[in-house]
A and B are shown apart, each in its own frame.
Chain A
């Protein structure tokens, strides 16, 4: 991949940051990804299971095309991509400039542990005397001041928490590689000038500071000090005030004239305090009163040193910036804390619960009560803690907690005893995602999770039993009290702790809830050009929504880079050339890092054992390859010819992916012919806990031998590639289709936009405005104009796709246009944006009375002023008509907001109008909640109903209105509403033709929506590469959400369009045609549709880009005709031999 001009900076390394960075990196832009934490992953590093699949699968975000450019291992371990420069423990402290040319100042926490030399042995942790709350485990359990931030992260480099560390130095002494103590080396360069006329003072200060590693010079008078200052560089001056000759204040003034930035601390006796205060005005930093405690003085100097170190900073240039700062969790211990959080140990937050049941958690995964370690039998979840709560300043819904709680309740049922009872107390169970309603139903019916409507006010503890007592309202006036073993608080999302500062740095605004503010119809755009927002930094979002908004942000960033001249202009880089070794007998050179001998392993014995294999040319040792010098030595050794395979025995192979690539370029050997075997980590620890050196040595020999065998088996094939037709087909001309088409066309690629209707616009031809008050009609009008005027967009109106064949990079699609001959278009990718429409209904008297209308009809009649709200008295509205129950068992997301929009409009027109809303759960997720509050304030009455007791509608002949009867749980009575108008929220149905999806090999889900490759991690892709979807074709969503999906889908497409050809990854399947019997079993088994049969050639073909190298075809093939590079049968059988040696 060739680098493009224009760097992007992504701030925040959580899911959205990773997505944005990968999206841009895969498109070819260099990216700098910073995170203030010492690891990537954000909150997801703490969550093992995520809804709605209750699994992980984060690795599915990794690149699928050009896989070799990035890491191919569990993403929870870490990330590598050749275009991404990852900076952890780093913050952005300043952004200056304009879109296209920002100058960004980064501040990195000093590395107290040198990541280059830390070998992750953990000796430091064992001796560290400091214990603080373990933030990885959400504060449950303890960790040391020197610690591994995430247990599974790679490289497993320890870090020091500077706030907790007492600098006792215990860890420095035990570190076998001397990795800790960098700060002391740094202190050598920090020279302090001590000025005092008293020898004893000067000398003792010098001694104290030198003990701490600083360099110190002394001066006995002001004159001498000034002379020293001009001759030598000092970082700090300790200055006595009362001196004969020139006094301290005078010296200070003169010093500040020459070095205005110099840190000067005055030393004074009691008598001269006033002078000292005066000195502060002249620019002294502080004063110390004599006689002083050595510790006070030393800690002052250390503080100055560390501030200076930290502020050293670094400047980078970036064309665009994406903020993916995430959110923070609400802390229930603040405020009134009626739930007794932190007061009763068995009251935990959702995140704490997650850690409790995790294998890497404080209790190693057992579900027990934190207070006494006893098994848990009854758990309660309390929803909306710090959400939908005006008292905690959160008049918004956090959107994820309902699903979070359902997931946790299901996990508890799986982890806990059989008789475990899980109850969720909720106000509205919000399941607005595509599969979320069925997820909730499954929890209830299959898992037996109880759902109880009601807001719990207080949690008490029963003194006798220690159990937690919850009191909550039952139906009507009844109050119910129950005892639980554990209470989980579903804490809401709050703005990220650094949101305010980051917004200030980026010159963007925050909204009324403290999240970053976005522009109308965008989830990523800010007021400031060139700065975009990804993920939940701009409002609470779940994983899929975060991934989508990050994609939207990366598209906008890509447009910025392109438009400001960075563009897609390719910089001609050096494509490394490799020597062709395909006709040579394999000769393996083994290089062993001397660090391997750590742990009493004898490298000599290992070398002798390896040399017994004739394929091993030589075995050489190199000193510490993790250090710069060691690596240079290795390169030198590798340059000596005489081999064609290279095996490096060092530490974690993950750390070497990039280096191996560089080495390959340097020695002209294909990196796929090199491998790294870990010879340091596999310590065999006997059951008594003592490392067993001889068993370890044997294990290392086996690992190296199987590494050798792996290398011998690799066939150095010339790389092949799949050419790309650099144009896109977009099917559907609604807001999503138009946005996607523009997003791609703005990068200079051709787009064919196919629309079956006579005009563009889709649903926006009847939808006129949004609940936020934005003008949807004008928005659509503007999009249509831009599409029509765009030279790169070809419009095909009145047209439908009739057939398509081909694969990523090259599709041939035939479209039929009314009254014209069909045409065939050639394109590299396709985006399906066929949208959806309002569902029809026959329920609740619809069609029997003109007073019964759907939401769409209401919108139209309101806009055409057909309904005069001033002349009617009562409006009834029924939510979830045909939605959220089989066969349409999904939430349509937009109807509740639409209802609120109409309520507020009607109430504005006629404040005396009575409005009754019959609902099941108000799905006002995110900031829409505010309008729910407002609608209730405006006087609308909300009456909940269940599917077992629906409202009944009576339509009398000749009557102008209808009557609605329903059970009112608060009144414990049936109520009747005589309404002039009844509005039915019927929800959304997709209009994705099965034939269209089939034509492109995309799947369709049970409800007729586009089936995404993975609901969380790949929400826009089809399993078949090169086929994407956006807008309502994916699932119900609002205009803003549709725009985000369209931009994100365009970005997915641009990964492919930005290349002239897609190259083959090193682990890819092939077919040995001479052995193939064309049984086609491999074609059925391939999950990616990468295989096809060429009838003319009588061959099974593999698309090398679509193939992900899983090897399912190879084990399915009865003839061993299907093989995966690097995993041939012969090699696998050899490996088995090797490990059994």
Chain B
């Protein structure tokens, strides 16, 4: 495996909770790896599985979907819907040839800047162990 492999992580974060936490991590100057690319969505329930599949096909090494804690969702229950979708997606992702561990769903509340930074750090370690996106490994790109 390539020693210098730096995974790219796309994080779909909800406008209300995790985006606030990411901001807090930024303004608190918490150090976390630069591997993450944030995409703000209004609610995790808005994250269509096709976005995630597209992200993998485009070469991301992992996808994080993160929203409000269960019960906290600004839109009542969008995060529950996201949870169901992610569970289904995890079961079909291997059929596309991607390791299901490349998707992670977390709940990170507005004041959990530390948890946000930690989640990213943990993910980088996990994905480094897993190696680059299978599409990149297989295809000649």
Chain A residues packing against B (C-beta within 8 Å): 48, 53-57, 59-60, 72-74, 76-77, 120, 122, 148, 151-152, 154, 156, 358-360, 364-365, 652, 681-687, 689, 692, 695, 698-699, 702, 706, 1013, 1023, 1067, 1085, 1087, 1108-1112, 1114-1116, 1124, 1127, 1129, 1132-1133, 1135-1137, 1139-1140
Contacts and interface: CB of A to CB of B under 8 A. Distances in A.
B30 to A, nearest CB: 8
B74 A57 contact: yes
Contact of A1087 (B15, B58, B75): B75
Nearest to B22: A682
A56 B72 contact: yes
Nearest to A76: B110
Given A151-B24, A706-B39, A684 B34 contact: yes
Nearest to A46: B111
Interface of B: 8, 10, 15-17, 19-20, 23-24, 26-34, 37-39, 41-43, 45-51, 54-55, 58-60, 68-69, 71-72, 74-78, 81, 85, 109-115
Contacts of A683: 26, 29
6 contacts: A54-B71, A74-B110, A77-B20, A152-B110, A1087-B77, A1110-B78
Given A681-B26, A699-B34, A1111 B71 contact: no
A977 to B, nearest CB: 46
Given A365-B114, A689-B31, A1127 B16 contact: no
B133 to A, nearest CB: 10
A682 B26 contact: yes
B63 to A, nearest CB: 10
Contacts of B39: 706, 1132, 1135-1136, 1139
Query: Which of A365, A685, A689, A1114 has the most B CB atoms < 10 Å from its CB?
Result: A685
Contacts of A151: 24, 27-28, 111, 113
A1115 B48 contact: yes
Given A59-B74, A152-B111, A156-B27, A1139 B43 contact: no
Nearest to A652: B23
Contacts of A48: 109, 111
Contacts of B17: 74
Nearest to B107: A55
Contacts of A1129: 48, 50
Contacts of A53: 71-72
Contacts of A122: 29
A1132 B51 contact: yes
Contact of B27 (A60, A681, A1087, A1133): A681
A210 to B, nearest CB: 38
B27 A1110 contact: no
Given A56-B109, A74-B20, A1067 B48 contact: no
B69 A1132 contact: no
Interface of B is mostly: loop
Contacts of A1087: 75-78
A270 B41 CA distance: 74
A1114 B48 contact: yes
Majority-rule SS of A interface residues? loop
Nearest to A1114: B46
A706 B54 CA distance: 16
Contacts of B27: 120, 148, 151-152, 156, 681
A1134 to B, nearest CB: 10
A1110 B45 contact: yes
A77 B45 contact: no
Contact of A1139 (B10, B24, B28, B32): B10
A-B residue pairs, 7 tightest by C-beta? A1111-B46, A1110-B75, A1139-B37, A684-B34, A1112-B45, A74-B20, A1115-B48
A845 B50 CA distance: 66
Nearest to A698: B34
B19 to A, nearest CB: 8
From B38, B69, B76, residue with most partner A Cβ within 10 Å: B76
B59 A73 contact: no
Contact of A685 (B16, B31, B47, B110): B31
A1111 B17 CA distance: 16
A695 B6 CA distance: 13
A359 B112 contact: yes
A1129 B74 CA distance: 22
A702 B9 CA distance: 14
A55 B29 contact: no
Max chain A C-beta neighbours (<10 A), residue from B23, B49, B75: B23
A1140 B74 contact: no
Nearest to B26: A681
B111 A1140 contact: no
A524 B43 CA distance: 37
Nearest to B28: A151
A55 B69 contact: yes
Residue in B17, B29, B39, B48 with the greatest tally of chain A CB atoms within 10 Å: B48
A77 to B, nearest CB: 6
A1112 B46 CA distance: 5
A687 B33 contact: yes
B42 A702 contact: no
Given A120-B27, A1114-B48, A1127 B42 contact: yes
B20 A1136 contact: no
A706 to B, nearest CB: 7
A685 B28 CA distance: 11
B43 A1111 contact: yes
A682 B69 CA distance: 25
B47 A152 contact: no
| B27, B31, B32, B114: residue with the most chain A Cβ atoms closer than 10 Å | B27
Nearest to A1013: B76
Contact of A152 (B24, B51, B55, B78): B24
A359 B111 contact: yes
Contact of A359 (B26, B76, B113): B113
A360 B46 contact: no
A1110 B42 contact: yes
